[in-house]
């Protein structure tokens, strides 16, 4: 039994063994009483110590997954209830895409980092530090604009990025989605028109539609929004806003080029609309880049970012930079609808920014993502997948198989226990597309590699079945 142990991961080896064996039980449908390989054999096959395997098995006994049989080693336990009736987080409505389901599916197209890539020690240190030195943060709301010490750190960050702003122009939020919602509620009303990129962020589409806002679609090309199409839309409509993802675009992985950025700002002035620039993946950049908010824009650009994608989704700390007048309006709405953001979470993030931990973390993350991006692009090239564009960094590749049909791809993914993020998810109208979002942080998994191979050129049916049975 290959447990797929990652010795570079921050997840302890014993926990990896528990997860891998539990996943094998679920995927194989092993019946109660099925005997597992001996501790000695499992350790030998996976280059592990026998003590680590024994500890993992004992944990699984305590969890009710295994039984220790005298003279027979460890066997699959009799579950107290059937798998279908057991509760798990993904069973909650609309939540299955965000957490591990009962089969341990590989979320090849998800929008976040694997848990094994996270660096929990630094966060734990910051949590202990806040708990010891700032008891106010444990029990109180943050201020309407957000914790001052955090906003001071954000001002320093934005200044380093050449984004001209002021302390009273920065508002903290519960992540980027909360910032978008506050903006939509403040700037727009039912019947208003905005421009969105397609493909683009599905949650933004749903937020806008929920408020009765009409969506105009502009295709995303390699250098940014398709300018000729946008100009044509502007001739026929008077949109209030353009929503754009400049760096490492979700889902195509492309970044805005300087020429397109300058033309967008010209159009924003001449056609009188605001640009909402989301930059949640911007910290992953490692080379020169173009942000609209870093160019002279005379108040036409609203900047949104967060730490959910790079640091922790659980902390839910985001922020935006806009005019002081708009920030004041949004702070009032933020207080009315949620009282305030988490002072504790903001204090933790402020600590990580102030002591340099976050900066060092993203430097390591960029390097790891760049390595995995290169490896993923090579595999896709070898298997003759079509890639929309070669990203300069980030975590996404927008690609599709060079051969094969959608039903074959879906069948192959089901056999391999791989969850896909197909193009329809990134279309405002849910229109079918052969393109897939691939998160390179998950693409080294053997199940992903098997999928890429199975959908490569000249694969016979028998080859596909053999590949998808691993």
DSSP state, 422?
A: B
The confidence score (pLDDT) of residue 394 equals: 92
Residue 87 has a pLDDT of 46
Quick one: 139 and 283 in the same domain?
Answer: yes
Say yes or no to pLDDT of 97 above 60.
no
pLDDT grade, residue 465 (50/70/90)? very low
Confidence of residue 278 (pLDDT cuts 50, 70, 90): very high
Indicate whether 267 and 384 sit together in one domain: no
β-partners of residue 217 are 196
- Distance between CA atoms of residues 274 and 272, nearest Å: 7
Residue ending a domain, choose from 301, 321, 355: 355
- Structurally, the chain folds into a number of domains equal to 3
Domain-embedded: residue 96: no
Confidence of residue 91 (pLDDT cuts 50, 70, 90): very low
Q: What is the mean pLDDT of the chain?
A: 88
In a domain, 335, yes or no: yes
Extract the tokens encoding 443: 């693409």
Q: What percent of the chain has pLDDT over 90?
A: 60
**329/367 same-domain check:** no
Is 395 inside any structural domain? yes
Name the burial class of residue 306, with classes exposed (0-12), middle (13-18) and buried (19+) by CB atoms within 10 angstroms of its CB.
buried
CA 364 to chain CA centroid, nearest Å: 17
Q: Say if residue 460's pLDDT is above 80.
A: no
The answer, yes or no, to whether residue 347 has pLDDT greater than 90, is yes
Confidence at residue 82, expressed as pLDDT on a 0 to 100 scale: 45
Residues 454 and 467 sit within 8 Å (Cβ to Cβ): yes
Q: Do 136 and 223 reside in the same domain of the chain? A: yes
Residue 194 lies in a domain: yes
Check residue 2 and give its pLDDT. 85
Choose between 333 and 456: higher pLDDT: 333
Residues 327, 271 within the same domain: yes
Q: Which pairing describes strands 193-198 and 214-221: parallel, antiparallel, or unpaired?
A: parallel
Instruction: For residue 91, count other CB atoms closer than 10 A to its CB.
Output: 13
Q: What letter would DSSP give residue 141?
A: B
Determine, yes or no, domain membership for 392: yes
What pLDDT is attached to residue 33?
87
Of 103-107, 160-164, 173-177, which range is least confident? 103-107
**Average pLDDT of the segment spanning 57-65:** 85
Q: Are residues 415 and 452 in the same domain?
A: yes
- For residue 458, the model assigns a pLDDT of 58
Is residue 195 domain-shared with residue 227, that is, in the same domain? yes
From 339, 355, 371, the end of a domain falls on 355
Q: Specify the CATH number for the domain of residue 73.
A: 1.10.10.10
* Residues 262 and 209 placed together within one structural domain of the fold: yes
Phi-psi region of 417 (alpha: psi -120 to 50; beta: other; left: phi over 0): left
- With 0.85 as the threshold, say if the pTM is over it: no
Q: Is residue 384 part of a domain?
A: yes
Categorize the per-residue pLDDT at 100 as very low, low, confident or very high, splitting at 50, 70 and 90: low
- State residue 359's pLDDT score: 93
Residues 342 and 384 in one domain: no
Which domain-ending residue is among 355, 388, 404?
355
pLDDT bucket at 4, cuts 50 / 70 / 90: confident
Task: Identify whether residues 125 and 271 lie together within a single domain.
Answer: yes
Q: How far apart are CA 242 and CA 236, in angstroms?
A: 15
140 — pLDDT class (breaks 50, 70, 90): confident
- Same domain, yes or no: 270 and 328: yes
In this predicted structure, the answer to whether residue 463 has a pLDDT above a threshold of 90 is no
Highest mean pLDDT among 55-59, 313-317, 372-376, 401-405: 372-376
179, 187 contact by CB (below 8 A): no
Is the pLDDT score of 469 beyond 50? no
Range of the domain at 54: 13-86
456 pLDDT higher than 90:
no
Regarding whether 20 and 152 lie in a shared domain, the answer is no
Distance CA 380, CA 349 (A): 37
Dihedral of alpha carbons 287, 292, 293, 296, sign: positive
pLDDT score, position 468:
41
- What pLDDT is attached to residue 10? 61
CA 103 to chain centre: 21
List the CATH number of the domain containing 269.
3.40.640.10
* pLDDT given for residue 245 in this prediction: 93
Q: What is the CATH number of the domain that holds 419?
A: 3.90.1150.10
Helix 343-354 vs helix 357-382: crossing angle, to nearest 10 = 90
3 state DSSP class of 215: strand
Nearest Cα to Cα of residue 256 among 224, 283, 227: 224
Question: Which distant-in-sequence residues (6+ apart) come within 8 Å of 17 by Cβ?
Answer: 3, 5, 48, 52, 53, 56
> Is residue 42 included in any domain, yes or no?
yes
pLDDT, tens only, 188-217: 999 999 999 999 999 999 999 999 999 999
- Strand 301-306 and strand 274-278: the pairing is parallel
278 lies in a domain? yes
């Amino acid at each position: 039994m290959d447990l797929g142990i990652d010795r570079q991961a921050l997840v302890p080896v014993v926990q990896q063994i528990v997860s891998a064996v539990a996943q094998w039980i679920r995927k194989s449908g092993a019946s109660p009483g099925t005997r597992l390989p001996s501790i000695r054999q499992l350790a030998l096959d996976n280059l592990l110590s026998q003590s680590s395997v024994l500890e993992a098995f004992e944990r699984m006994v305590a969890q009710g997954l295994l039984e220790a049989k005298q003279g027979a080693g460890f066997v699959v336990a009799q579950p107290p209830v059937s798998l279908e009736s057991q509760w798990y987080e993904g069973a909650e409505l609309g939540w299955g895409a965000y957490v591990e389901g009962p089969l341990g599916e590989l979320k090849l197209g998800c929008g976040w980092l694997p848990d094994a890539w996270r660096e929990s020690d630094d966060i734990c240190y910051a949590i202990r530090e806040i708990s010891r030195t700032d008891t106010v943060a444990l029990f109180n709301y943050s201020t309407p604009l957000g914790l001052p010490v955090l906003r001071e750190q954000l001002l320093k960050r934005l200044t380093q990025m050449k984004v001209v702003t002021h302390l009273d122009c920065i508002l903290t939020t519960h992540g980027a989605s909360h910032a978008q919602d506050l903006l939509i509620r403040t700037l727009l009303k039912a019947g208003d028109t905005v421009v969105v990129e397609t493909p683009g962020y599905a949650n933004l589409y749903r937020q806008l539609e929920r408020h009765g806002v009409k969506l105009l679609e502009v295709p995303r090309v390699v250098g940014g929004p398709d300018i000729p199409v946008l100009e044509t839309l502007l001739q026929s409509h008077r949109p209030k806003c353009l929503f754009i993802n400049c760096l490492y675009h979700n889902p195509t992985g492309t970044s805005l080029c300087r020429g397109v950025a300058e033309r967008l700002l010209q159009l924003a002035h001449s056609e009188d609309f605001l640009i909402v620039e989301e930059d949640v993946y911007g910290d992953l950049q490692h080379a020169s880049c173009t942000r609209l908010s870093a160019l002279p824009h005379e108040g036409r650009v609203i900047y949104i970012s967060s730490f959910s994608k790079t640091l922790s989704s659980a902390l839910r700390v985001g922020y935006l930079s806009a005019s002081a007048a708009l920030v004041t309006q949004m702070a009032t709405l933020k207080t009315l609808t949620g009282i305030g953001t988490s002072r504790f979470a903001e204090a933790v993030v402020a600590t990580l920014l102030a002591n340099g931990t976050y900066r060092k973390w993203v430097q390591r993350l960029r390097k790891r993502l760049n390595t995995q991006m290169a490896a993923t692009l090579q595999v896709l090239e070898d298997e003759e997948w079509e890639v929309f564009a070669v990203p300069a960094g980030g975590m996404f590749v927008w690609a599709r198989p060079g051969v094969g049909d959608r039903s074959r791809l879906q069948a192959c993914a089901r056999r391999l226990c791989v969850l896909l993020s197909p193009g329809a998810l990134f279309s405002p109208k849910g229109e079918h597309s052969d393109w897939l979002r691939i998160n390179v942080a998950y693409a080294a998994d053997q199940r992903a590699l098997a999928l890429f191979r199975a959908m490569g050129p000249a694969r016979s049916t028998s080859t596909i079945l053999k590949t998808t049975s691993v």
